[in-house]
Each structure stands twice: as structure tokens, then as C-alpha cells.
Homo-oligomer: A and B are copies of this chain.
Amino acid sequence: MSQFNKKLEQASKTNNSLLCIGLDADLAKIPQHLLNDSDPLYAFNQQIIEATKDLVCAYKPNMAFYEMHGIYGLESLIKTIELISSYNIPVILDGKRGDIGNTSAAYAKSAFEVFKADAITVNPYMGEDSVMPFLEYKDRGVFVLCLTSNSGAQDFELPIYKKVALKVKEWNKHNNAGLVVGATKPEQLKEIRALVPDLPLLIPGIGAQGGEIKATVQAGVDNKGGKAIINSSRSIIYASGKEDFARAAQKAAKELRDQINSHRFGK
């Protein structure tokens, strides 16, 4: 088992949770009193993390929401990852990166050495040499997009997602690969789980994107009720847009964690 998988399993066990919170902070959506802070993105993330760190198995900041604010946003991202790491909770950097081999190596260096993430999401479109440089970081996790939760998934992913799942299984020499499979497609999720019984699955699309919880959990977990990382972003971090946002996020996270757990062992 890779070091990333161990860290994930430990956090999941300690917090009795398969819940991952997506840290997609948007200055237009966070409580407006935070805009007076010298670093509003970090202030928002910090309060969300402090309120939910006993309820999650991982956090997943999406790079787009930080890049959107240029240098300032990327500085906030680095501080956010440092804070999460201080609590021994794994950080899955959602970057959906991928390029020809030597360029993917530069992205891997960025994610793992500069931003110091525990894991990254990778886009498989460009094939093997675009994915391998990430997998070569044996102590980190690599979640390859397989079948995503958005409507566009039908355009190109649907015809080839099983092939992607099988290829990733083949490339997984260091036992550090996983797949991204949307919660909006429980039937295919079940199929994919059968193809890769041992891989961790990162499952976004619960909540704002409409994925149904029971079907997702039952289709996504492995035969021990684990190895599913069920992500929710907006329905937790924006549970309240007022000063009580952190407490509201805590409440939403606890409810979702407990709801997921109620379906984990086939109940």
C-alpha cells in the first residue's frame, strides 16, 4: 500500500469518514465580511478546515479557484495545504493536469514539491506517457479522470471510460493510482468498482451536482466499505453565506458524513 493510501486510510479511520470537502473558495460567494481580511481566501478555508477537520478523510482544493486570483490565490493555496497537512489529513490537489511526458514531469513537480499536495487529479486524454510521471512519485496518490459527473461526460468519456479504468489498473505498479468517477452515474460507478476492486475512487458530484447518496455509496465502496472518497464542495462550504458559515459547514459535513456511513455496509 502506498504512503498516500496509508495516510488516507488513517484519516478515514480516525474520523470514521469517507467524506472529502472540496475547497473551491470563490471571493464572490464567501461571506462578505471576510473580504476585510488581509487574505480572504485563506481566512475562509482556515475556518472551514478548523470546523470540519474531525469529519473528513481528505480535502480537495481545486486549483482553478486559486489560479483565478493569480499570484495571490496561489499563495493562499500553499498556506491552505500547509494548514491541512499539519492535521495529517491528505490533500488531493484537483488540477486535472496532463501533457506530454517531460511536461507532465514538470506538473508533477509543481503539485508534489511546490504545492506539496499528497495527491493530484490527472486527465488521461494524452495517454500513458502523460500519466506516468505523476505515478512515479510512489509516495503520492494519482486520481485519473475516468467518468466525470458533468453533462459533457457523454461526449467523449462514455465510449472509453472502461478502457481508461483498465489502463490505469495496468499502469498502477506502485499501488498509488485511483480513479475519478462521478456520483451522478451510479450504474457505471458499480461497473468501474467491479473492474478495479482495489483502487481508491474519488467520487465528486454529491450535493450541488445532484448525485444520490445511497446509490453512490453502495456502488462506490470496496468490499470492506472503504476506498471511496466522496466529495462535496458547494453544499458544505456555502451552507451559509453569513458569519455562521463555519458552523453551518460543520453541521452539513457531519450530516453528510453520517448519511454516507449509514449506507456504507449495505444497510
Contacts and interface: CB of A to CB of B under 8 A. Distances in A.
Contacts of A65: 103, 106
Interface stretch (A155-163, A214-222, A237-245, A251-259): A155-163
Contacts of A153: 126-127
A182 B164 CA distance: 22
Given A68-B106, A70-B114, A123 B151 contact: no
- Chain A, interface size category, equals 35 or more
A106 B150 contact: no
Contacts of A70: 74, 78, 110, 114-115
A99 B131 CA distance: 17
Chain A interface mostly: helix
Given A65-B106, A110-B67, A129 B150 contact: yes
A83 interface: no
Given A96-B123, A125-B145, A24 B150 contact: no
Interface in A138-185: 145, 148-157, 159-160, 163-164, 167
Interface of A: 24, 26, 62, 64-65, 67-71, 74-75, 78, 94, 96-101, 103-104, 106-107, 109-110, 114-115, 123-131, 145, 148-157, 159-160, 163-164, 167, 209
